[in-house]
């Protein structure tokens, strides 16, 4: 993998993505992402998840109209009835308040008032979310991510955490067949659904071609 390969996959100038080259190489070696098939699948997924290696932090600045679409159990907008839900207007473009509500009492987080939802919002190339995952990844990587969650904003930690999560979901096993069905299973393991699958598959085919993986 070269800086030009990353530039092709991300659609960005090579000098912008070059700082990611060594961290990604280290992470892929550490977690045995060491065949063209594994590398192509891994790179396709992380490039999609991170918007071309641009975003290493979850964007929670949602409009009021978008909130009920993303979290229908949490928010409503008039003329809909509340049915125990919160008025989306109160959380429009308020990312910290939003994170503390939607991530409260989940994924190892404390209640809304604990601030854990915001503290452990998605970070990294495959965004780790929730106190539990921060703790598990930190223990495995020998990083104190519970007390220093912003470490995942740095390329070295962001890449290693992506490699750890890949291992956590058995990414190599899913990538090895290099079939469309297996790649779809990989997307679901990472994202929970087939969101953005067309773009992921486009990146996967590009990465296969760049790395000499069998299509």
Q: Give the pair of three-digit tokens for residue 205.
A: 């085919």
Closest CA to 169 of 60, 37, 50, 33: 33
Residue 2 DSSP symbol: -
**pLDDT value of position 65:** 96
Report CA torsion sign: 165, 169, 170, 174: negative
Q: Is the pLDDT of residue 55 over 90?
A: yes
Q: What is the pLDDT of residues 70-112, one digit of tens each?
A: 999 999 999 999 999 999 999 999 999 999 999 999 999 999 9
**pLDDT value of position 126:** 92
Alpha carbon separation from 185 to 39, 173, 178, 191 (Å, rounded):
16, 11, 11, 10
Max CA-CA distance within the chain? 55
32: left (phi over 0), alpha (psi -120 to 50) or beta: left
**pLDDT value of position 185:** 95
Q: What is the mean pLDDT of residues 175-195?
A: 91
Q: Give the pair of three-digit tokens for residue 190.
A: 């990472």
- Confidence tier at 2 by pLDDT (50, 70, 90): confident
142: left (phi over 0), alpha (psi -120 to 50) or beta: left
Residue 123 DSSP symbol: B
Q: What is the pLDDT of residues 108-158, one digit of tens each?
A: 999 999 999 999 999 999 999 999 999 999 999 999 999 999 999 999 999
Q: Where are the domains of the chain?
A: 3-56+152-211, 67-119
Report CA torsion sign: 80, 86, 90, 93: negative
Q: Is the pLDDT of residue 215 over 90?
A: no
Give this prediction's pTM: 0.91
**pLDDT value of position 192:** 84
145: left (phi over 0), alpha (psi -120 to 50) or beta: alpha
Residue with tokens 């070059």: 18
Q: What is the mean pLDDT of residues 50-64?
A: 95
Q: What is the mean pLDDT of residues 21-38?
A: 96
Q: Give the pair of three-digit tokens for residue 182.
A: 């297996």
**pLDDT value of position 100:** 98
Q: What is the mean pLDDT of residues 21-29?
A: 96
128: left (phi over 0), alpha (psi -120 to 50) or beta: beta
**pLDDT value of position 214:** 63
- Confidence tier at 191 by pLDDT (50, 70, 90): confident
Lowest pLDDT segment from 1-10, 20-29, 58-67: 1-10
């Amino acid at each position: 993998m070269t800086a030009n390969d990353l530039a092709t996959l991300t659609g960005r100038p090579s000098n912008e993505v070059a700082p990611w080259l060594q961290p990604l190489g280290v992470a892929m070696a550490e977690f045995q992402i060491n065949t063209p098939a594994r590398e192509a699948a891994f790179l396709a997924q992380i490039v999609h998840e991170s918007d071309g290696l641009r975003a290493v932090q979850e964007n929670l600045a949602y409009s009021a109209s978008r909130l009920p679409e993303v979290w229908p159990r949490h928010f409503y907008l008039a003329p809909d009835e509340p049915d125990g839900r919160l008025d989306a207007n109160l959380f429009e473009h308020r990312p910290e308040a939003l994170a503390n509500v939607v991530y409260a009492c989940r994924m190892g987080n404390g209640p809304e008032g604990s601030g854990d939802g915001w503290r452990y919002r998605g970070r990294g190339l495959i965004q780790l979310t929730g106190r539990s995952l921060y703790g598990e990844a930190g223990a495995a990587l020998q990083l104190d991510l519970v007390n220093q969650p912003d470490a995942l904003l740095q390329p070295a930690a962001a890449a290693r955490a992506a490699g750890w999560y890949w291992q956590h979901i058995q990414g190599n096993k899913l990538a090895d067949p290099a079939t469309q069905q297996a790649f779809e299973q990989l997307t679901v393991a990472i994202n929970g659904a087939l969101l953005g699958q067309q773009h992921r598959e486009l990146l996967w085919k590009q990465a296969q071609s760049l790395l000499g993986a069998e299509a």
